[in-house]
Amino acid sequence: MTAFKHDEFSYRYPHNVYGHVPGSHSGSSLGTGDRFAGFADLFDYPDPRRIDIRASVRNNMANGGISANDRWLVRRFQQRSTVTLWLLADMSKSMSVSNVNHQRLANLAHMIAHSAIGLGDKFALAGFDSHWRQDISIMPTRQRNMSTIAADLIEQAAPASAPGSEGLIEAANMISSPHAMVFLASDFCCDISIIEKTLRKLSHYTVIPIVWQHDDVDHLPSHAGWTEMRDAETGQHHAVWMRPTMKKRWQSAMDEHFEKLSTCFMRHRIRPLLVDGEVTGEQLTHYFMGMKKS
Amino acid sequence: MSLSHQSRMILSALTMIIVLLLLLAALLLPKIERNIKVMDILFVVDITQSMNVADATIDEQVVTRIEWAKHYTRETLAALPCGNHAGLAVFSESRSLVLMNPVEVCDNYHDISQMLSKVDGTMAWAQSSEVSKAVFTAIKAVDLIKPEPSIVFLTDGHESPPIHDTLFPKFRGDLGKVTGVFVGVGGEDLLPIPKRDEKGNSIGFWGVNEVLHRDVYLSGRADLDQRPRTEHLSSQKQSHLETLADMVGFDYVTSPERAKTLIKALANTAKPRQQLVNYDLSPWLSAAALFLLILVYFPLQVLRWK
Amino acid sequence: MSLMDLHWSQPYLLLLLPFALLPWFNHSQEKTIAWSAFVPKDPWSTTVGLSLKILSSIVLISLILGLAGPYEPEKKVERLGEGAEIVLLLDRSRSMDDAFAVKTQAALVSVGKKDSKRRVAKSYLTEFVKKRPDDRFGFVLFSSQAIKLLSLTYSKEAILATINANAIGKGLKDTNMPDALIKAAEMFEDQPYRGSRIVLLVSDGGQILTEEEEKKIASLYKRMKISINWIYMSSMVGVTLDASDSDSYLWEDLPERKLHDFFNSTGIPYQAFEARSLKTFAEAIDEINQQQYQTLIVEQTLPRVSKHQPFYIIAFLAMLALTFAQVYSAWGVRKAHE
């Protein structure tokens, strides 16, 4: 078991949450909370502790003085509610090329679980490669030690049995919580259509894509001469004689892919978080601070 | 493989540059001169009549001693590395007759083995067999050959007429000046000696009364020699050859099976001569190049996948 | 000269040839990349890759072939030369130990000294052999019987070693001239006729032959077209092979004279040289040397020729291309990392 940094980030669910379990996000249900949500008649809400005398008097005066059918108004508040933080973790082989690796993914999982459970929210995990990885999945839970368990699960995961990231769609189907923030951690080196399909499916959740960027040399290892390569996913051998025109074609293919990806995110009004190397709590905090409050 | 792609590429490039330089050296380096040790050897083959006793074996076949001696000499000639020199002599009566001075074995193998095939009992110029004296004459003869060869004396050690231990001829040369090896031929059992006429035809065996049984200088003093009368029979006289070898400072191997035994004994006793040869380094250089190149191209992933 | 005609001095090294396939299985210079979908398709690269692999295999194959020691085996070629096939017939009898060309009977008793006839014969014959590059020599040693010691050979080393060995030690018993002459002629038996055939007899005496022997010798020499040259080394000054007025009556029946007469009478090409002093011996040798130059088919052995050089050159050239490619590629990787 590796020791994980107890890094944290603060986040806020951008929408109102409906739910009877008290939490830390603006809920749509009324109850105890700090956010005023109007008045109600004492008869409807018999909670004399919250009688607002000033408001009642003002209301009665406005209706023509104190009379027998004066109404007593009770203050009402929105109840704070909980959400579930889902992590969809890409476990495919391309996620273990040099600076992008399972160790870092495990750190991320630890951080998300730690932050979520600390705030009283639930955490859930679904791993995927070419299929949904049941062995690297955790159903929504508030269990305190889940952060470490999740990290260990990822770190000690068996390697992918088949190339591809098609399991993403399957994993997305697992999300059943009514209110969820979905962290989608991947290098996004796969067909854009898979991403598109997944995002459509997750359209009523808040999706935070964490785009893990590979080093340039892990995409384009040489500028000149004979270059032999092995695809991290498929293990297929490729070899090219590198020269300026080849480099141009290669570079443009890369640019095209990532452009398509950002267009795709834009269409779904999602801002991706681009990272290389370790993901820190600070980065995520910043991300959420920048998130437009609706 | 823990090396990064970049370092692997650079390492390969450097190795290939070394390979290229090695190949260039193999192509351009002139031959270097080097001293190798060569031996000069004079094979003296006993051709006296006792050598016609068939009690030696080649590949489990019983052959006469002389056939065995010739076979063994030929084997040794073939096994000697190029550069060594070998000559041929025969021994009969009381002297060794040099037939050919030592010549380079590889270039002249055909000629030496041709000559060797002509060596047989019919060459003998007399019927006595005085081994010790023949050894002394061989040593004397070798003294006249330049460079002085070592002697390989192939004999059964049978002295005829016999000599008594106390009347052994004295060796007058310098002990250790001429080196050599006795190769004992023949078995341990006493066997009758075939009698041949001058043309080499078999005419029975030597009878008990046809040979001398006593040292001639001992005649009339039979009290000094009470040995049984067995001189018409012959075996490999090992103790006699040992005495003789001690006296002249030779080595002694008895009925060796492989040419290596003799060559090893020679290498131990003979004084090798330095000979300058042109030595080509290119095989070593290109072998090193090949080795490095195989390392470069060796699919290390095979090891990794295991 | 094709590959198949070559011989190999270390043929077991050819077992290494499968190593030439290594480059086709080698991936040790590979880089694991995240996604190969970005790698452009390029037919030109396929060609380059194929040629690089072929070049690597060529280097390995040529190196292994070169190391296996290819050579053209020694070849026997026949060429026309000038010379003769000569069988040396050397008297090994004890009388040859006597001093050569002494004036008095008393001086004869210097046995085995430097001036013995055998020693003198040896040193002049050695000179003679060395002067004649194309000749093929055989050697017959004779005393009480003759031994065909050295079959006709082109090896100067072998014949010189035999001549030198002949000078070592004392002489054997007596002389068996007829056997020697027959054995010498037999040396040419079963040999193709290549050119002038000579039996060079060096002796200090003769022998009276029986009629039967004479007949046999005469027919043998005629049939095989052999000529006889006799260098007669007389021990005492004055003895000649041809009769003359000043002869002592003792010399009339000398065996050497009888032999001389026999040779003259047979019609075999024959020439006698009477060596009376070192000078006349040298002259006799020179005369034979000058006379016996006739066209002769010489079988020459061309030594084995090592053929590894072309393989190393091929390996070097292919390696040069490969090294350039590798250095360039390594530089390209370095640049990508910058």
Q: For B260-272, what is the HEC assignment?
A: HHHHHHHHHHCCC
Say how far apart CA C269 and CA C252 lie, in whole Å: 24
Say how far apart CA A89 and CA A159 lie, in whole Å: 13
Check pLDDT > 90 for residue C319. Answer: yes
Among candidates C27, C66, C330 on the partner chain, residue whose Cβ is nearest the Cβ of B299: C27
pLDDT digits (tens, 9 = 90+) for B1-25: 467 888 989 999 999 999 999 999 9
Give the total number of structural domains in chain C. 2
Could you identify the residue written with the tokens 């490969």? C322
Among candidates C16, C316, C330 on the partner chain, residue whose Cβ is nearest the Cβ of B23: C316
Which of A18-27, A150-159, C308-317, C329-338 has the least mean pLDDT? A18-27
Which of B67-71, B124-128, B231-235, C30-34 has the least mean pLDDT? B124-128
Å from A28 to nearest chain C CA?
Answer: 44
Among candidates B17, B19, B297 on the partner chain, residue whose Cβ is nearest the Cβ of C22: B297
Query: Model-level pTM?
Result: 0.65
Strand partners, C208: none
Among candidates B107, B126, B290 on the partner chain, residue whose Cβ is nearest the Cβ of C63: B290
**Terminus-to-terminus CA distance in chain A, angstroms?**
41
pLDDT digits (tens, 9 = 90+) for B77-86: 888 887 889 9
Note whether B153 and B294 are same-domain residues: no
Å from B208 to nearest chain C CA?
Answer: 28
Q: Is B272 left (phi over 0), alpha (psi -120 to 50) or beta?
A: beta
Check pLDDT > 60 for residue A232. Answer: yes
Please check whether residue C154 touches B, CB under 8 A: no
pLDDT digits (tens, 9 = 90+) for C182-199: 888 888 888 888 888 889
Neighbours of chain A (3+ CB pairs under 8 A): C
DSSP SS3 for A267: helix
Query: Chain-wide mean pLDDT for chain B?
Result: 82
Note whether B123 and B263 are same-domain residues: yes
Domain region containing B183: 34-276
Note whether C105 and C61 are same-domain residues: no
**pLDDT band per the 50, 70, 90 thresholds, residue C111:** very low
Domain region containing C31: 3-73+304-337
Are the Cβ atoms of A239 and C49 closer than 8 angstroms? yes
Are the Cβ atoms of C34 and A219 closer than 8 angstroms? yes
Please check whether residue B16 touches C, CB under 8 A: yes
CATH number, domain containing residue B124: 3.40.50.410
DSSP SS3 for C125: helix
Listed residue (B142, B129, B127, B269) closest to B198, CA to CA: B127
CB atoms within 10 A of CB A216: 12
Note whether C287 and C310 are same-domain residues: no
A72 vs A267, more confident: A267
**Which residues of C fall within a CB distance of 8 Å from A234?**
36
Check pLDDT > 90 for residue B287. Answer: yes
Note whether B22 and B156 are same-domain residues: no
Angle CA A211–A87–A255, to nearest 5: 15
Neighbours of chain B (3+ CB pairs under 8 A): C
Residue C205's alpha-carbon distances to A28, C96, C256, in angstroms, are 146, 9, 5
Å from C54 to nearest chain B CA?
Answer: 13
Strands B61-63 and B150-155: unpaired
Note whether B57 and B96 are same-domain residues: yes
Strand partners, B224: none
Note whether B152 and B267 are same-domain residues: yes
**Which residues of C fall within a CB distance of 8 Å from B43?**
none
CB atoms within 10 A of CB A213: 17
The interface predicted TM-score (ipTM) is 0.76
Contact B95, B131 (CB under 8 A): no
Contact B87, C161 (CB under 8 A): yes
How many beta-carbon pairs under 8 angstroms link B with C?
165
Say how far apart CA C95 and CA C143 lie, in whole Å: 10
CATH number, domain containing residue C289: 3.40.50.410
DSSP SS3 for B155: strand
Q: Name the percent of chain B lying above pLDDT 70.
A: 90
Q: Is B176 left (phi over 0), alpha (psi -120 to 50) or beta?
A: left
Check pLDDT > 80 for residue C301. Answer: no
pLDDT digits (tens, 9 = 90+) for C135-177: 889 998 887 777 888 888 888 888 999 888 888 777 777 778 8
Listed residue (B102, B97, B109) closest to B45, CA to CA: B97
Are the Cβ atoms of C27 and B13 closer than 8 angstroms? no
Q: What does the block give as tokens for A64?
A: 């023509």
Å from A290 to nearest chain C CA?
Answer: 30
Note whether C221 and C183 are same-domain residues: yes
Among candidates B12, B95, B290 on the partner chain, residue whose Cβ is nearest the Cβ of C169: B95
Say how far apart CA B48 and CA B158 lie, in whole Å: 9
Are the Cβ atoms of A217 and C336 closer than 8 angstroms? yes
- Establish how many alpha carbons lie within 13 A of residue C108's alpha carbon, considering only the half-sphere containing its beta carbon: 10
Please check whether residue B139 touches C, CB under 8 A: no
Note whether B105 and B76 are same-domain residues: yes
**pLDDT band per the 50, 70, 90 thresholds, residue A71:** confident
Strands (E), C160-293: 197-203, 226-233, 270-275
- Crossing angle for the helix pair A281-290 and A102-118, nearest 10 degrees? 60
pLDDT digits (tens, 9 = 90+) for A181-219: 899 999 888 889 999 999 999 988 889 999 988 888 788
Would you state the pLDDT for residue C112? 46
**Which residues of A fall within a CB distance of 8 Å from C44?**
241
Note whether B137 and B21 are same-domain residues: no
Are the Cβ atoms of A227 and C31 closer than 8 angstroms? yes
Please check whether residue B12 touches C, CB under 8 A: yes
User: Which phi and psi (to 5°) does residue B243 adopt?
Assistant: -60, -45
Query: Chain-wide mean pLDDT for chain A?
Result: 83
**Which residues of C fall within a CB distance of 8 Å from A239?**
45, 49
**pLDDT band per the 50, 70, 90 thresholds, residue B43:** very high
- C-facing residues of B in 78-137 (CB < 8 A) are 87, 89, 95-104, 107-108, 110-112, 114-115, 118, 122-123, 125-126, 137
Please check whether residue C322 touches A, CB under 8 A: no
**pLDDT band per the 50, 70, 90 thresholds, residue B126:** confident
Å from B142 to nearest chain C CA?
Answer: 9
Among candidates A229, A241, A242 on the partner chain, residue whose Cβ is nearest the Cβ of C33: A229
Check pLDDT > 50 for residue B32. Answer: yes
Q: What is the mean pLDDT of residues A95-102?
A: 75
Give the total number of structural domains in chain B. 2
Nearest chain C alpha carbon to A94? C34
A127 vs B302, more confident: A127
Note whether B74 and B143 are same-domain residues: yes
Å from C24 to nearest chain B CA?
Answer: 9
Q: What single-letter DSSP state applies at residue B97? A: E
Please check whether residue C76 touches B, CB under 8 A: no
Are the Cβ atoms of C158 and B17 closer than 8 angstroms? no
Dihedral of the alpha carbons of A211, A214, A220, A223, in degrees to the nearest 10: 120
Helix (H) / strand (E) containing A195? helix A192-201
Q: What is the mean pLDDT of residues C250-269?
A: 79
Helix (H) / strand (E) containing C153? strand C146-153
**Which residues of B fall within a CB distance of 8 Å from C30?**
5
Would you state the pLDDT for residue A160? 82
Å from C242 to nearest chain B CA?
Answer: 33
Are the Cβ atoms of C29 and B145 closer than 8 angstroms? no
Are the Cβ atoms of B16 and C26 closer than 8 angstroms? no
Contact A122, A143 (CB under 8 A): no
Contact B45, B88 (CB under 8 A): yes
Note whether B132 and B106 are same-domain residues: yes
Contact A22, A82 (CB under 8 A): yes
Note whether B25 and B57 are same-domain residues: no
Q: What does the block give as tokens for B254?
A: 């008895």
Q: What is the mean pLDDT of residues C306-318?
A: 91
**Which residues of B fall within a CB distance of 8 Å from C22?**
294, 297-299
Are the Cβ atoms of C330 and B301 closer than 8 angstroms? no
Please check whether residue C329 touches A, CB under 8 A: yes
* Strands laid side by side in the C7-8 sheet: C7-8, C70-72, C305-306
- Give the torsion sign (CA, C94, C100, C105, C110): negative
Helix (H) / strand (E) containing C57? helix C43-67
Note whether C131 and C263 are same-domain residues: yes
Most A CBs within 10 A among C28, C39, C328, hence the mutation to make, goes to: C39
C317 vs B303, more confident: C317
Check pLDDT > 60 for residue C1. Answer: no
Omega prior to A244 cis, within 30 of 0: no
Note whether C268 and C146 are same-domain residues: yes
Listed residue (A13, A17, A23, A31) closest to A178, CA to CA: A17
**pLDDT band per the 50, 70, 90 thresholds, residue C250:** low
DSSP-assigned letters across all residues of C169-206? S--BS---HHHHHHHHHHTTTT----S-EEEEEEES--
Note whether B92 and B189 are same-domain residues: yes
Å from B195 to nearest chain C CA?
Answer: 19
Domains of chain A, earliest start first: 22-80 (no CATH), 82-290 (3.40.50.410)
Would you state the pLDDT for residue A1? 44
Note whether B163 and B204 are same-domain residues: yes
Note whether C292 and C143 are same-domain residues: yes
Contact A20, A27 (CB under 8 A): no
Q: Burial code of A53-86, b = ≥16 C-beta within 10 A, e = fewer?
A: eeebeeebeeeeeeeeeeebbbbbebbbbbbbbb
Instruction: Count Cβ atoms within 10 A of the Cβ of residue C107 and give its class: 0-12 exposed, 13-18 middle, 19 or more buried.
Output: middle
Would you state the pLDDT for residue B305? 45
Say how far apart CA A184 and CA A182 lie, in whole Å: 6
**Which residues of B fall within a CB distance of 8 Å from C18?**
none
H helix count then E strand count, chain A:
8, 10
